Amino acid sequence: MVLLDLGRRINAAVNDLTRPGSSLDEKAFEVMVKEICNALMEADVNIKLVSNLRKSIKKTVNFEDMASGTNKKRLIQKAVFDELVKLVDPHAEPFKPKKGRPNVIMFVGLQGAGKTTTCTKLARWYNARGFRSCLVCADTFRAGAFDQLKQNATKAKIPYYGSLTQTDPVQVAREGVEKFKKERFDIIIVDTSGRHRQEQDLFDEMVQIQNAVEPDETIMVLDASIGQSAESQARAFKDAAHFGAIIITKTDGAASGGGAISAVAATHTPIVFIGTGEHMLDLERFAPQPFISKLLG
Ligand code: GDP
C-alpha cells in the first residue's frame, strides 16, 4: 500500500464517520479507530506505535465526558490529525547550516538506499538557496561509486572530490573535506559506503570517517520500501554512528513507508527531507504537519 493510499484510507474512515446523516456515536467511532489502526499496521507502522495512537485518540475523544453541543466531528478530525503528526514528529530540531562557515554533512545508510543520488539532490537544494555546496565521495568500496557521484555532480554543476586509486575511505574523506574547507565552501557533503562483507566493518568505517571529518550533521538515508526492518536498521546505525536526521527515499514508489516512520519514533530523529523520484529535483523538505495535511488530502 503506498503512502497516499494510507492517507486516503484514513480520510475515508474519518469521512464515513462524520458524513451527514450517519450516527456519530461511540460504536461508529470505535469502527473508525479500528480502521485507521488497521491501515497503519498494513503500512508497516510498528504495532506499539499504533496501539499508543489508538489509546491517545480514544482518550481525547471521550464520549462520556463530552459536553452537549461539542462539535464532535471537528474534535475527532483534530484528534486523528494530531496523533498522526505525533507519529512523524520526534520533537527534535534538526541541524541548520549557517552560511559563511563550512558545514560538514555526512551521509550513512545501506547500499542502494539512495545515498549517492540524495547527496547530489541535497547539494543542489542548498546551492539553489545560496549555500556554496560540494560533494566528497568516501565510498572506495563499491566500484563505480565515484563515477556515479561524478556524473550526478557534473550534471548538477556541483564541485566534487574523490579518488580512483586511493582505497582508504577515511583518507579520501579527510582530504576532500580539508580541501573544500580551505576553499571556503558552505556545505560539504560526504557520501560513504553502504556495503561491506561484515556489518561490523561498515560501522567501524563509519565511525572512523566521522572521527576524521567531524561532521556537523550525520544523516541516515532510509529506503521507504524496506518495511518493518527499517526500525532495527536505524537503531543499529544509531548505536554505531550517531545521526541527527533522516532522509526517506523512494516515497514515490509502491512502498508504504510505515517502517521508515517507525524508525523515526524508535530513534527520536527527525525526517528532514523525502526523496520523491530519481531526478535531481525530486527532493522535498519534510515537516510533520504539512506532510500529514497532504497525506490526508
Ligand atoms: P546508494 O547505494 O545508497 O548510494 O544508492 P543510490 O543513490 O545509488 O540509489 C539506488 C537507486 O535508487 C538508484 O537507482 C536511484 O536512482 C534510486 N533512487 C534514489 N532515490 C530515489 C527516490 O527518491 N525515488 C526513486 N524512485 N528512486 C530513487
pLDDT in tens, 147-201: 999 999 999 999 999 998 999 999 999 999 999 999 999 999 999 998 776 688 8
Q: Tell me the CA–centroid distance for residue 208 and ligand 1, in Å.
A: 25
pLDDT of residue 91: 85
Whether the predicted pLDDT of 249 surpasses 60: yes
pLDDT of residue 2: 58
Ligand 1 atom closest to Cα of 148?
8
**Rounded CA gap, 232 and 61, in Å?**
33
DSSP reduced 3-state for 106: strand
Q: Is the CB of 277 under 6 A from ligand 1?
A: yes
pLDDT of residue 66: 76
Helices (H) and strands (E) in the chain, counts: 11, 8
**Cα end-to-end distance, the chain, whole Å:** 16
pLDDT of residue 210: 96
Atom 27, ligand 1: residue with shortest CA distance:
278
**Rounded CA gap, 232 and 209, in Å?**
22
Do the Cβ atoms of 111 and 139 come closer than 8 Å? no
pLDDT of residue 74: 87
Closest C-alpha among 68, 80, 73, 79 to residue 18: 73
Atom 19, ligand 1: residue with shortest CA distance:
114
Grid coordinates representing 162?
A: 574523490
Whether the predicted pLDDT of 254 surpasses 80: no
Grid coordinates representing 98?
A: 549557517
Q: Tell me the CA–centroid distance for residue 114 and ligand 1, in Å.
A: 4
ipTM of predicted assembly, 2 dp: 0.99
Whether the predicted pLDDT of 256 surpasses 90: no
pLDDT in tens, 11-55: 899 888 877 777 788 888 999 999 999 999 988 899 999 999 999
Q: Is the CB of 112 under 6 A from ligand 1?
A: yes
Q: Is the CB of 278 under 6 A from ligand 1?
A: yes
Pocket test for ligand 1, best of 191, 249, 282 (most atoms within 8 A of CB): 249
Do the Cβ atoms of 189 and 107 come closer than 8 Å? yes
Q: Is the CB of 284 under 6 A from ligand 1?
A: no
pLDDT of residue 3: 63
**Cα three-residue angle 38-290-262, rounded to 5 degrees:** 40
pLDDT in tens, 81-103: 999 999 889 888 889 999 999 99
Span 226-245, average pLDDT: 90
Q: Tell me the CA–centroid distance for residue 113 and ligand 1, in Å.
A: 6
Q: Work out the pLDDT band at 1, boundaries 50, 70, 90.
A: very low
Span 55-68, average pLDDT: 85
Do the Cβ atoms of 1 and 8 come closer than 8 Å? no
Q: Is the CB of 275 under 6 A from ligand 1?
A: yes
Q: Is the CB of 250 under 6 A from ligand 1?
A: yes
Predicted TM-score (pTM) of the model is 0.91
Span 98-123, average pLDDT: 95
- What mean pLDDT is reported for the chain? 90
Grid coordinates representing 110?
A: 545501506
Pocket test for ligand 1, best of 124, 147, 278 (most atoms within 8 A of CB): 278
Q: Is the CB of 151 under 6 A from ligand 1?
A: no
